[in-house]
Chains A and B, each alone.
Chain A
């Protein structure tokens, strides 16, 4: 026991102040919410599309160029071939409506939306999540697990991953929903008591990302884009979901 205490003193207190105070420690090359210039032409969008790994992530219509964060895997290739698009350091990516994931040209003043649903706001002090991994590469699961470590410690905000859907307020879905996981996902979602929410985390869960998308059991109450979402993005999203931020 004494050895453990001495080691603890050596290592020190490591839990970050984020997200209540301070900014997360993001890498210098972090690719967050994209910004597209107003004057991006259709030809430039075509040029970017040619190097985009995901079909339909970039588009151009009468409103100008658009990038769908629900499909984007944040590889940053488009920003390399065209300087009209930039990936900013904005990590607060999660939104409550699917349409808000689409970044439009000239859309520079981004403020993350606030939670207004009273049923979600009631979960401010205790928010129990059941994770369902449905296909996918396990990247999203690994970065969701990280939130339980003492560096992020989501338990401070009453957020926990629980073992059973019966105990859950929300189902935290990752992966594109493979054919073999469809039934298990539907049953798990059905087993959660009302009122329940579906949180789609990662490009796969939102649109299938690189893969074919299965059938979502419900309309997600929150979308957390990324491939995988950075833990800072996820923690901020979960805190914002319950109205803590």
Chain B
């Protein structure tokens, strides 16, 4: 059933649209009325090389009053498939990793921690450190890529070009550790499949110090350019109150709570996180860690060592600070350790509404930079 509302003034319409908190009914039509009211539909196949999603910009003249976001195109049943693959740990990890390709390491860490809790496995301190290292590399790579893409979206090509290349360097560092640019198959229950030794440590240290200089130069260039700042500042604002009310997480929340909540704030937070992540990486590299012996259990269907079998059902929740925000995996086990249900909550799931808010009152042409400043995962939300 659809309902049409009419408004006398733009302010009234704006106030009404601002009252929407959750996704609206997909079948609903634009509640705007009048000569200047129109709706622009985009997707699911977008113009860039990105994931599918359907957007509807409900506009009054040039201004977007509401952005409706329809997802679900990426749904392929990751959670169900993980439950079905119970007993085949290799397959389960691979499925968890492919929930969102750019968050593979965080997802594998979550899944591994759940299995480690179930089976009472201990990971060595070295393995945990290297997991952290991989996680920080993933964070840096993604933030660098997004800052470059933001520069590209406002046609500031030097930083766009530099960052595109520098992101690749960080992915290659991940590949140096485990053979895959996204850190696939590196983190496994019980430990790590990546090898780390003194040679790699010094190689990585030299590499990251060299690349960090290029990165600092590229980012300084962008954050000091008046034409870029002019476009970023005051664009796509999500106020602190709104951010807290709709429950934003991660970068988007920090930008709204600690700074002004515009595109510039989100870009600044990413820049700060890159700095922090580098500090952490250097600290880990100072630790002189070696990876432990890899002891992932062979595929078994009997979990004799299940330590939480006192209760008929046990839910294990694992959280990892992924680059977008907190990634939560939860699994429900029965007394024998058999997996009954698996649930993944990607940080993106909390933040899509924030993107819709950011675009209110903006022009459609500001969508790319608003979108990139969030860079939410479609596949992580759709699972």
Contact = CB atoms under 8 A, between A and B. Distances in A.
Chains A and B form a bound pair: yes
Contacts of B326: none
Given A50-B299, A150-B164, A210 B81 contact: yes
B74 A141 contact: no
A113 to B, nearest CB: 26
Contact of A211 (B48, B81, B102, B377): B81
A6 to B, nearest CB: 9
B50 A133 contact: yes
A49 B311 CA distance: 34
B221 interface: yes
B379 A138 contact: yes
Contacts of A135: 73-76, 379
A10 interface: yes
B378 A14 contact: no
B52 A139 contact: no
A11 B104 CA distance: 30
A76 B180 CA distance: 11
A51 B90 contact: yes
A180 B94 contact: no
B286 to A, nearest CB: 23
Contact of B90 (A28, A77, A184): A77
B101 interface: yes
Contacts of A181: 44, 52, 73-74
Interface string A1-40: 0011001101100100000000001011111000000000
A228 interface: yes
Given A51-B90, A136-B379, A181-B73, A131 B49 contact: yes
A178 B76 contact: yes
B218 interface: yes
B327 interface: no
A53 interface: yes
B95 interface: yes
A29 B177 CA distance: 8
Contacts of A142: 101-102, 182
Contacts of B75: 135, 178-180
Contacts of B74: 135-136, 175, 178, 180-181
A211 B99 CA distance: 11
Interface string B98-125: 1111101000000000000000000000
Interface residues of A, number: 63
Given A75-B184, A136-B76, A210 B94 contact: yes
B73 A211 contact: no
A172 to B, nearest CB: 8
Interface string B41-81: 00011011111100000000000000000001111110001
B366 interface: no
A137 B52 contact: no
A237 to B, nearest CB: 16
Interface stretch (B168-176, B272-280, B356-364): B168-176
Contacts of A10: 214, 217
B306 interface: no
B185 A76 contact: yes
Most buried by B among A8, A138, A231: A138
Interface in A178-220: 178-181, 184-185, 188, 210-212
A148 interface: yes
Given A4-B158, A54-B91, A161-B49, 13 more contacts: A11-B214, A27-B175, A28-B176, A51-B299, A136-B76, A138-B100, A138-B102, A150-B161, A151-B168, A163-B48, A181-B52, A181-B73, A181-B74
18 contacts: A4-B221, A7-B217, A7-B221, A53-B91, A54-B91, A136-B98, A136-B379, A137-B99, A137-B101, A138-B51, A138-B100, A138-B378, A141-B50, A146-B164, A146-B168, A180-B73, A184-B45, A231-B168
Interface of B: 44-45, 47-52, 72-77, 81, 88, 90-91, 93-95, 97-102, 104, 158, 161-162, 164-165, 167-168, 171-172, 175-176, 178-182, 184-185, 195, 214, 217-218, 221, 224, 298-299, 377-379
Interface of A: 3-4, 7-8, 10-11, 14, 25, 27-31, 50-54, 73-77, 131-146, 148-151, 161, 163-165, 175-176, 178-181, 184-185, 188, 210-212, 227-228, 230-231
In the A-B complex, the 5 residue pairs with the closest CB atoms: A139-B101, A29-B179, A149-B164, A137-B101, A163-B47
